[in-house]
Amino acid sequence: MTRQRWTNRTTFLLAALGSAVGLGNLWRFPYLAGKYGGGAFLVPYLIALVLVGIPLLIVEFAIGQKMQQGAIGTYTRLHPRFSGLGILALISAFIITSYYAVVMAWSLLYLFASVRVEWSANSQDYFFNRILELSASVNDLGGIDGSIFGALLVIWIAIYFSVWKGTKSVGKVVRYSVPLPVILLLLLFLRAITLPGFLAGWEMYLKPNWTALLNPEVWTAAFSQIFYSLSLAFGVMIAYASYKNDSDDIVKDAWTTALLNSATSLFAGLVVFGVLGYMALQTDTPLVELAASGPGLAFVVFPKALSLIPFPHLFSLLFFLMFLSLGIDSAFSLVEALNAAVLDRHPHFSVAKVALIVCLAGAIAGIIYTTRAGLYFLDIVDHFLTSYNLLFVGIGQSILVGWIYGAEKLRRYINEVSEWKIGKWWNFAVKYAIPTILAMLLATQFSKDLA
Ligand code: PFF
């Protein structure tokens, strides 16, 4: 069987961007910025982007494209001893898809509830008691929540039909699913800047609190956000790049993906904080308190804010539609990473069948999060994946490419095919800077968790 191909370069770019731009941009980035020093958070964030994010994105694009294999095959071709690293990356991909789809299922329920803005009376009670029916502790699983389970099935059906014909169906979906949320975000932006109080929100978001930079936690958060946001260390970007021709440009695609992704995060923050500024004014709640709501931001604080603006139904609908359209291409990119690995080993298998099995497995694994203790599991799993596994795979990958395969050898290939050349700084980043920084972060995280 000949390898699947993207129909053209734009399709690849849209798919890579679709994977990178997801719930993390809308939900994780703004709350991290709000929590960790406002504008000052941009310093570790941009350092992480330039020193680690972009060099590693170039690595993943380059090795996938050169080896023409998904993660496991690519690492094995780089060095046979490193196939385990690919397996580790794919385990993370599998675990993330299984809970990412559940978060999308919650937002599907919110989309339906938008018609009556059901959460307006008490959005906290609505999320924890009505949607999640959260139990008192992680030990009390309770039963499966029927509506979340039903919504989850719908999400998985959508994921399946996005990937069932591999690059062909993905190519069609991303033509709509990448521009749509951007348009919706623009609409919400226009709404935000016409609300009183939005500037106070922006001030909270962007005003630097420099002392935050003394806290190592801020740095770990910035680096893991970059990994998560660029879909690095999950085998996704490797799989996507493996469907390009081995003589295609690499560097421009990596910069384009990375910069547009970060621009979307920054922009999403303006929307989120603009609306929070308005809410602070309306409810007489200090902005700091709203901004510190953490992961509850998307399902508790923000919906509440939406219920306060004129035409709440319409804006809630737009918001959750944006949420879903942002998430879908990130969710199926993870499935594509898994499919690529299976199809590499069994090229005669049908893409549709492999996709079906992977989607079924992902849906079944996600059932645990539809129980009444689901949120607890989600928190634990998210913490371990984003703080350990990603860093570990990142270190392994930079050692493999930098020291074993040879950074210079890969750089020569990259420069041969790319219009924009990369300098020797990239070798330095891959060989020294990335493994050292990531090892330090791993140690910091470990000592914090032990304490
Ligand atoms: N990059 C996505 C986001 O920021 O929401 C999440 C994600 C997608 C992570 C795909 C990892 C991945 F492989």
* Range 438-451 average pLDDT: 88
CATH number assigned to the domain with residue range 9-379, chosen from the 4 options 1.20.1740, 3.40.91, 2.60.40, 1.10.3470: 1.20.1740
Residue percentage of the chain with pLDDT more than 70: 99
Residue 138 has pLDDT above 70, yes or no: yes
Lowest mean pLDDT among 267-281, 285-299, 323-337, 413-427: 285-299
- Tokens, residue 254: 């990596």
| pLDDT on residue 380 | 87
| pLDDT on residue 357 | 97
If you write DSSP's letter for every residue of 232-277 in order, what string do you get? TTSSHHHHHHHTS-TTS--HHHHHHHHHHHHHHHHHHHHHHHHHHH
Q: How far is the CA of 100 from the centre of ligand 1 (A)?
A: 9
Residue 294 has pLDDT above 70, yes or no: no
Model confidence at 398, pLDDT cuts 50, 70, 90, reads: very high
* Range 335-340 average pLDDT: 97
Q: Name the closest-CA residue to atom 7, ligand 1.
A: 231
- Amino acid (1-letter code) at residue 25: N
Q: How far is the CA of 328 from the centre of ligand 1 (A)?
A: 10
* Range 264-285 average pLDDT: 93
Q: Which atom of ligand 1 is nearest to the CA of 235?
A: 13
Residue 93 has pLDDT above 70, yes or no: yes
Q: How far is the CA of 297 from the centre of ligand 1 (A)?
A: 18
* Range 142-166 average pLDDT: 95
Residue percentage of the chain with pLDDT more than 90: 78
Contact 80, 391 (CB under 8 A): no
Predicted complex ipTM exceeds 0.85: yes
Helix, strand or coil for residue 146? Answer: helix
Cα separation, 275 vs 355, whole angstroms: 39
Give the length of the chain. 451
Contact 287, 276 (CB under 8 A): yes
Lowest mean pLDDT among 192-196, 347-351, 447-451: 447-451
Model confidence at 234, pLDDT cuts 50, 70, 90, reads: very high
| Backbone region of residue 284 per phi and psi (left: phi > 0; alpha: psi in -120 to 50; beta: other values) | left
- Tokens, residue 96: 């993330």
The best mutation among 103, 226, 228 to test binding of ligand 1, ranked by most ligand atoms within 8 Å of the C-beta, falls on: 228
Residues with CB under 6 A from ligand 1: 19-20, 22-25, 93, 96, 228-229, 231, 234, 236, 330, 333-334
Give the number of other CB atoms < 10 A from CB of residue 419.
9
- Amino acid (1-letter code) at residue 284: D
The string of pLDDT tens digits covering residues 2-12 is: 899 999 999 99
Q: How far is the CA of 311 from the centre of ligand 1 (A)?
A: 32
| pLDDT on residue 295 | 64
Q: Name the closest-CA residue to atom 9, ligand 1.
A: 231
| pLDDT on residue 137 | 79
Q: Name the closest-CA residue to atom 12, ligand 1.
A: 231
Q: Among 115, 154, 151, which residue's Cα sits nearest to residue 132?
A: 151
| pLDDT on residue 49 | 97
- b/e sequence 242-252, b meaning 16+ C-beta within 10 Å: bbbeeebbbbe
- Amino acid (1-letter code) at residue 155: I
- Amino acid (1-letter code) at residue 445: Q
CA 229 to chain centre: 4
Judge residue 439's burial from the number of C-beta atoms within 10 Å of its C-beta, 0-12 exposed, 13-18 middle, 19 or more buried: middle
- Amino acid (1-letter code) at residue 418: S
The string of pLDDT tens digits covering residues 8-29 is: 999 999 999 999 999 999 988 9
Residue 335 has pLDDT above 90, yes or no: yes
* Rg over CA atoms, the chain: 21
The string of pLDDT tens digits covering residues 53-66 is: 999 999 999 999 99
Contact 188, 273 (CB under 8 A): no
The domain segmentation of the chain, as residue ranges, is 9-379
Cα separation, 310 vs 403, whole angstroms: 58
| pLDDT on residue 419 | 96
Task: Spell out the residues 6+ positions from residue 288 whose beta carbon is closer than 8 angstroms to its own.
Answer: 204
| pLDDT on residue 384 | 83
Task: Spell out the residues 6+ positions from residue 250 whose beta carbon is closer than 8 angstroms to its own.
Answer: 58, 61, 62, 65, 241, 414, 417, 418
